[in-house]
Amino acid sequence: MFERPADDEEHRRPRDDEERRGGGCEEREIREVWHDLQVTDHATKARSSSSSCIADCRERRGTAGAGARIGPMAVDTSRVAHLDVGPGELPDTMAAWVIREERQGEPLEAFQLEQIEVPQPGAFEVVVRVMAAGVNFNNVWAALGRPVSVFRYHDEDHHIGGSDASGIVWKVGEGITRWKPGDEVVLHCNQASYEDVEVHGLDPLAAPSQRIWGYETSWGSFAQFCKVQAQQLLPKPAQLSWEEAASYGLTYFTAYRMLIDQARIQAGDRVLIWGAAGGLGVFATQLCKVSGADSVGVVSSTAKGDLCLALGASAYIDRSDFAGMMRRGDETPEQEAARAKESRRFAKHVRELLGAPPDVVFEHVGRATFPTSVLTVKPFGKVVICGATSGHQLDFDVRYLWMRQKQIIGSHFANAYEATRANALIESGKIRPVLWKTMTFDGVAEAHQSMYKNEHLGKIAILVGAEAEGLGATGEGPGAIRAEVGG
Ligand code: NAP
C-alpha cells in the first residue's frame, strides 16, 4: 500500500538484527507501547491469562511461539466455512494464509496455507470470525518483503495479512461494552495504542504506535479468525453480502479522508481523479458526486471510462492519449521540455472538460503524474496524495507551486471517526462498493499474484466463512456495483 519513509521507520521501529534476536531496551519499550493497549490491572490479567492459554495450547501440541505452525496437519480449505464452536468460544487452531520471513518473494510462493493457533483477544481487543476478506496491494508488498519487510513492523514470526474484512464478532476481550459475540461487522484497518496522547487530542494517524492492521501487524483477514482493536469495528451495512461488505474499507476510507477532511471539497468544486476506475478512484468519483463536485477521471480504457461516468464523473480522459506527459525521472532536458509541453496540453484538455482548472487533484500515482498534477491544479488549489504506484521520488517544477500558491497535502488512510462517517454513506446506499471478482479462500495467493502482475481489473474479495457469494444481506437496499472493466 505504501512505504514508510526511512526516518519515519527509524522513529517508529529502530531495529537491527541484534535487536531482532534479543530486543534492545528501546525496542522492548516500543513493543510494550504497541502491544499493551491498556496498562491496567485488568488488562495485565487478561494478557497473562491469554498467554497462559497459548502456552497450554503449545504444550498440548509441542509447538513453540505464537502463531506457530501446528505440526504437519494438512489444511482442509473445503472446511473453512465450518466451525465446531459458537460465538463466544474459539477453536484451538484455524486455517490461515501465512507469509514467513524465510519465504518472502512472489505472492504465489510467499503465501502458504497453515494451521495456526487462534489468538485470544487482549483487553479492548476483539476476535472476529472472518466471513469475507478484501484484497489490497499492501499484501503484495508484504509477500515481496519490499520495499520494507513487514517483519520489521511487528514481532510475530508469521504474517497473516489482510486489511479488509466483514465478519461476526466471536470473542471480546476485557473492557468491551459496545460489541458482543454475534454482532455483524466490517473493519477499518487503523490501529494505534490508546496510551499515545495523539489518539486523544490530535489524530490516531499521528500516533507513534500507528499501524495498518493486516499489513504492519499480523492477525489480518486471510484466516478464519482475525484479531483487532475494538475501535476498528463498524456495523456491517445490512444490504450488502459478506463479500461486498469486505471489499471497500481500505480504499474508500482513504479516499474519504483525502477529499472530505484533507482537501475539503465543496459543492461546485472541480476535481481531477487519477486512476478513477481503480480501488481509490471509484470512491473518489462517487464522493465528488454526492458532495456536488464535478469530477474528471483519468483512466486507461474506454470500459474504465464508462465505469467512471456511471459512478458520476462528468467526463473521462484516456491517458494513452497523453502518454508523453508521464515522467520517468531520467529525461534529458530536451525530453523533459517535450514532456512538459504534453503536460500543458493535458492541463488545457482538463480545463476544457471542467470549464476551469481543477480545485483539487486526487493523486496516488506519484512520479509519472505528479508534475502534471501540480501544473494542472488551479492557483491556490490542492493536490492531495496518498500513494505513489509509479515511484515515490517525485520531482516537478516548483515555480508552479509557489508562484500560484498551490498546496500539496499528504494523506494516509483514515481515523475511526472518518471511517464511521464514511461507512454511514454506504449504509444509506449513497456510496456503493464496486466489486470486480469474488474468489474462494483457496485463491488468496493467486489473487495477490494477479495484482502483482497487474492483471487485476478491480476489487477482489475472498470468501472465508461465507459458503457462497451473495450471502449475508439482511436488509433492503442497493448492493455493490459490479465492475466490468476489462479491455
Ligand atoms: P488500483 O486499484 O491498482 O488503482 C490505481 C489506478 O491507478 C490503476 O487502476 C491505474 O488506472 C492507475 N495507474 C496505475 N499506474 C499508473 C500510471 N503509471 N500512470 C497513470 N495512472 C496509473 O490501486 P488503488 O487501490 O487505487 O491504490 C493506488 C495507490 O494508492 C497504490 O500505490 C496504493 O498502495 C496507494 N494507497 C495508499 C493508501 C494509504 O492509506 N496511504 C490507501 C490505499 C491505496 P488506469 O490504468 O485506468 O489509468
pLDDT at residue 487, rounded to an integer? 40
Q: Are 370 and 396 in contact (CB under 8 A)?
A: yes
- Write the residue with the smallest CA distance to atom 44 of ligand 1: 1
Query: Average per-residue pLDDT in the chain?
Result: 87
Per-residue confidence band for 74, with pLDDT thresholds at 50, 70 and 90: low
469 lies in the same domain as 377: no
Domain range for 188 is 6-248+433-482
Would the pTM count as exceeding 0.85? yes
Lowest mean pLDDT among 15-29, 106-120, 258-272, 347-361: 15-29
Does some domain include residue 239?
A: yes
Does some domain include residue 112?
A: yes
Does some domain include residue 131?
A: yes
pLDDT > 70: percent of the chain: 84
- Distance between CA atoms of residues 224 and 5, nearest Å: 33
Per-residue confidence band for 220, with pLDDT thresholds at 50, 70 and 90: very high
Does some domain include residue 419?
A: no
* 13 CB neighbour count, 10 Å cutoff: 21
Q: Does the C-beta of 304 come closer than 6 Å to ligand 1?
A: yes
Does some domain include residue 43?
A: yes
Which whole number is the average pLDDT over 402-410?
98
Taking the CA of residue 277 as centre, how many other CA atoms within 13 Å lie in the half-sphere pointing to its CB?
Answer: 28
Q: What is the CA radius of gyration of the chain?
A: 23
Per-residue confidence band for 484, with pLDDT thresholds at 50, 70 and 90: low
Cα(93) to centroid(ligand 1), Å: 36
Mark residue 219 as left, alpha or beta (left: phi above 0; alpha: psi -120 to 50; beta: remaining).
left
346 lies in the same domain as 469: no
Cα(209) to centroid(ligand 1), Å: 26
- Distance between CA atoms of residues 122 and 457, nearest Å: 38
279 lies in the same domain as 159: no
Q: Does the C-beta of 299 come closer than 6 Å to ligand 1?
A: yes
168 lies in the same domain as 186: yes
Per-residue confidence band for 3, with pLDDT thresholds at 50, 70 and 90: low
| Bond from prior residue into 357 cis (ω within 30 degrees of 0) | no
244 lies in the same domain as 315: no
17 lies in the same domain as 53: yes
**Does the structure show a pLDDT above 80 at 451?**
yes
Does some domain include residue 295?
A: yes
pLDDT at residue 91, rounded to an integer? 98
Cell of 28: 522492548
Q: Does the C-beta of 440 come closer than 6 Å to ligand 1?
A: no
Does some domain include residue 402?
A: yes
Find where cell 502456552 sits: 55
Q: Which residue, 357, 73, 90, is CA-closest to 227?
A: 90
Q: Which of 379, 410, 441 is the last residue of a domain?
A: 410
Which whole number is the average pLDDT over 346-372?
98
389 lies in the same domain as 437: no
Burial code (b: 16+ CB inside 10 Å, e: under 16) for 441-454 equals bebbbebbbbbbee
**Does the structure show a pLDDT above 90 at 364?**
yes
**Does the structure show a pLDDT above 90 at 11?**
no
255 lies in the same domain as 395: yes
Q: Are 462 and 223 in contact (CB under 8 A)?
A: no
14 lies in the same domain as 131: yes
Q: If 0-12 CB within 10 Å is exposed, 13-18 middle and 19+ buried, where does residue 386 land?
A: buried
Q: Which residue, 110, 109, 81, is CA-closest to 95?
A: 81
Pocket test for ligand 1, best of 389, 411, 452, 484 (most atoms within 8 A of CB): 389
Cell of 327: 515522467
97 lies in the same domain as 244: yes
Domain count, the chain: 2
Q: Are 424 and 472 in contact (CB under 8 A)?
A: no
pLDDT at residue 313, rounded to an integer? 98
Beta bridge partners of 169: 128
Which whole number is the average pLDDT over 214-233?
98
172: domain CATH number is 3.90.180.10
243 lies in the same domain as 255: no
Which whole number is the average pLDDT over 47-70?
36
Does some domain include residue 426?
A: no
380: domain CATH number is 3.40.50.720
pLDDT at residue 12, rounded to an integer? 45
- Distance between CA atoms of residues 120 and 400, nearest Å: 54
Pocket test for ligand 1, best of 365, 370, 384, 455 (most atoms within 8 A of CB): 365
Cell of 196: 499515545
pLDDT > 90: percent of the chain: 79
232 lies in the same domain as 266: no
Lowest mean pLDDT among 2-11, 108-117, 160-169: 2-11
